[in-house]
Amino acid sequence: MMKLYLSFLFFLVLLSTKADGQRCLSDTMHTVISKPTKEVETRNPLLQLPVVVHLVLPQSVIIEDQQVYNQINALNRDFRRHNSNLNTLPLTLQALAADTKIEFCLANIDPDGIPGIGITRTTTSIENIGIYNSLFSANDGGKSPWPSHQYLNIWVCEMPEDILGYASSPKEAGDATDGVVINYRYFGTLGAHTPFQMGRTLVHELGHYFGLAHPWGTFHDECEEDDGISDTFPQSGPHNECPPREYKMCDDANPSYSNYMDYTPDCCLAMFTKQQAAIMRQNIYEYRAQLLQNPAICHELQDDIPISLYPNPATSLCVISWPEEEKIEHIEFYDIAGKKISQTSLHQQSSQIEICLDPFPKGLLLLRLVTDDNKYYIHRLYHH
């Protein structure tokens, strides 16, 4: 459905202005999909979702890996209620703010089983490709998604400056266009354009991806409709300033402009409510459960066995060690593009190996440690 809406919504944006509060193209595409059941509300586990970031950019635009890492950190900061500006809110709002227990990690394994860092790079000559369906197709100058039922696909691309992003809804789970699209100007926290420079454009759009509506619902300048959520305050439209000169609240006793689903500049956004968190989790279980089915995609070696890489970063020599009871059969080495560089076989009694890095390329290396029962662990090594 997203591709059917895209061109139509873009023309609506061209007819509107910044004053109208158009921050994303998700206005008419989302409603709250389902209310949380008691069963879901009492579930407590941390939900970790594998992310792939597709950088589809003109040759003149460069986004470094670190900017992607900072954006993922910003997501986890806000979805886990670790943002420091939460403490600046009134106590009544702080009490409503939720730790969603949703986390994001860059995928360590691509769809072909090859270790990687969850980032792809495509150079495109299509101006403002983010407003065209060609974004989602490698044959048309964009980047085809990784299987969207297994990965959260995020496309970072060029769009008109006034459009920050858009997202698919839970009911579009598994579609070829399922995921989130972000204007490169507002991605990450390094060099992003103010006032959306704290990574919260993607936080907002992921709210839509998990089924949240804007607090005012679909229509502006009325109090007849809202997002259908009991612990968000009714408002007639978006806030576009920080702090706003004019409140859009339908209840003057509860001024609030800090919800991530509002249009407020990043420095004033601070919270999802508890019911918003419950609804997002409900929609993950109901529509996007397959994102949770393959924990190896987000596999981090140090969470399973205590591996030591010393030094890391390393210049010419690195010592890799692991517990004696862990039977590592061989170690595979990959470069940042996922190309296999080398493989080293080990004796079963080994628990340590010295690796000379001189023949290896500089930069990030991915190590895949494979056990005798075909388990594997991924670790990152930085070669200076």
Catalytic pick among 158, 172, 205, 332: 205
- b/e map of 153-181 (b: 16 or more CB within 10 Å)? bbbbbbbeeebbbbbbbbbbbebbbbbbb
Strand partners, 183: 157
Q: Which domains, and CATH codes, for the chain?
A: 2-295 (3.40.390.10), 300-383 (2.60.40.3080)
pLDDT score, position 220: 61
By the 8 A CB rule, do 277 and 260 touch? Answer: no
Q: Mean pLDDT per segment of 10 residues, for the chain of length 384 residues?
A: 39 35 56 52 76 96 89 93 91 93 90 85 96 96 95 96 94 94 94 93 96 83 81 86 82 80 94 96 94 64 63 90 87 79 84 91 85 76 84
pLDDT score, position 35: 56
pLDDT score, position 45: 83
Residue 224 among the catalytic residues: no
Q: What is the pLDDT of residues 224-254, one digit of tens each?
A: 778 889 899 888 888 888 888 788 888 765 6
> From CA 101, how far away is CA 76, in angstroms rounded?
9
pLDDT score, position 223: 82
> From CA 134, how far away is CA 47, in angstroms rounded?
32
> From CA 137, how far away is CA 118, in angstroms rounded?
18
- b/e map of 220-241 (b: 16 or more CB within 10 Å)? beeeeebbebeebbbbbbbbbe
pLDDT score, position 136: 97
pLDDT score, position 19: 33
Cβ-in-10-Å burial (0-12, 13-18, 19+) of 275 comes to buried
pLDDT score, position 307: 80
pLDDT score, position 103: 92
pLDDT score, position 125: 95
Rounded to 5°, the CA angle 13-15-16 comes to 65
> From CA 84, how far away is CA 81, in angstroms rounded?
9
pLDDT score, position 12: 35
One-character DSSP codes across 352-370: EEEEE-TTSPSEEEEEEEE
